[in-house]
Structure 1
Amino acid sequence: MTVTPDIPVHLVDRPRAGGLVVPWITPATAGGGLYLFGTIDGLSQYRCVTRRLCQVCGRRLGERAVLFARESDLLHQCAAEPAVCPPCAAYSRRACPMLAGRRHQYRAGNHPALAGTPMTASQVLRQAAPAEPWYAVWIRDYDVVDHPAQPGTLAASWQRIPPRRIRPLPATA
């Protein structure tokens, strides 16, 4: 049974799909009929990382933010997923099936609405693979770098600016 988490007050005006808030970086199909959860709009990702915007609400990040990082991201001390503000981090941990531990592997292919569209290199690598463990990396700031494992993709790096803390997310909800 899927439980729809309570929506934080600052997100009540955001679009919803299936009872969940649609993150600011989530693209929609042409005409806006279907939101492509699990997919990131490249321009929005770029804007979030370079302008220090929350990937869920689209607002400017404050003195504290969270990067959700896969285990492989910890090795590189950076994440291509943009940071989130603390209230959006709390919501995302409950709402996102990957972060909440309700989904244990990546999609076997592209989002169904994108059938026939080429997949990115990182999507191909994760195709149907077991989900990596996730971590919450609490940061005060980050450097914008080219992700070493995903050339051409900007990432938020905590290599030079030590994070406040790094906590593993539970493996199951």
Structure 2
Amino acid sequence: MSNQRPDIPVHLRRRPTSAGLVVPVATPRTADGQPLFGLLENFRQRHLLTRRLCQICGQPLGERLIVFARPADLLLHCTSEPALCPPCAAYSIRACPMLSGRLEHYRRQTRSGVAGIAADTGSELRADAPADAWCAVWLRDYDVVTHPVRDQVLAASWLRHPPLTIRPIPAR
């Protein structure tokens, strides 16, 4: 797969970028302003989930929204990843190295403890593991719950909100 960066959608052109990629609202930064792609800061994650805002553009979610889910998330019917609006989800599938299949493994070293990120982000368990197969779960709504296996972490649950569809993100 090519390393070429996808075009940035019009609605995201005012967002900051790094290495040609839009920096999502949910992405924390180091003290010197470098984005920490792939991580979530606890306050931002909670804010986006509870206010029902898109994790990329920060705008209110509409009547259809998408959460990206790993196989374990599908079994639990929830994810700690905030939802996305459909245009941002389409961009993310093309732009994110993990979702697009450009990365075959998670990072070897975790970056927990930087920029106010809680140590229990789940990234420690995935260090250097093969990349998960992701799915896009299309929903009309979700409940904000405490994650069933990650103490004190909020999650978007679709247990009471049947998905409109669950689509595998193209195979690696």
TM over 0.5, shorter chain: yes
Per-residue displacement from partner, 1:71-93 (whole Å, max 9, x unpaired)? 11000000100000000000000
- Aligned equivalent of 1:11: 12
Q: Deviating runs (4+, > 2 A) in structure 1?
A: 111-114, 117-121
Q: Are 1:45 and 1:81, in contact at CA under 8 Å, matched by a contact in 2?
A: yes
- Aligned equivalent of 2:166: 166
Indicate how the Cα distance of structure 1 residues 168 and 123 shifts in structure 2: closer, same or farther if over 3 A, else same.
Answer: same
Unaligned runs of 5+ in 2: none
Q: Are 1:110 and 1:119, in contact at CA under 8 Å, matched by a contact in 2?
A: no
Q: Are 2:41 and 2:118, in contact at CA under 8 Å, matched by a contact in 1?
A: no
% same residue? 55
- Aligned equivalent of 1:125: 125
Indicate how the Cα distance of structure 1 residues 148 and 118 shifts in structure 2: closer, same or farther if over 3 A, else same.
Answer: closer
SS at match of 2:100: coil
Unaligned runs of 5+ in 1: none
Find the aligned partners of 2:83 and 2:3 in 1 and give their Cα distance. 26
Indicate how the Cα distance of structure 1 residues 29 and 167 shifts in structure 2: closer, same or farther if over 3 A, else same.
Answer: same
Q: Aligned-pair RMSD on alpha carbons? A: 1.8
Indicate how the Cα distance of structure 1 residues 101 and 122 shifts in structure 2: closer, same or farther if over 3 A, else same.
Answer: same
- Aligned equivalent of 2:70: 70
1:55 correspondence with 2:52: no
- Shift of the alpha carbon at 1:121? 5.7
Q: How many residues align structurally?
A: 169
- TM-score, normalised to structure 2, is 0.93
- Shift of the alpha carbon at 1:65? 0.4
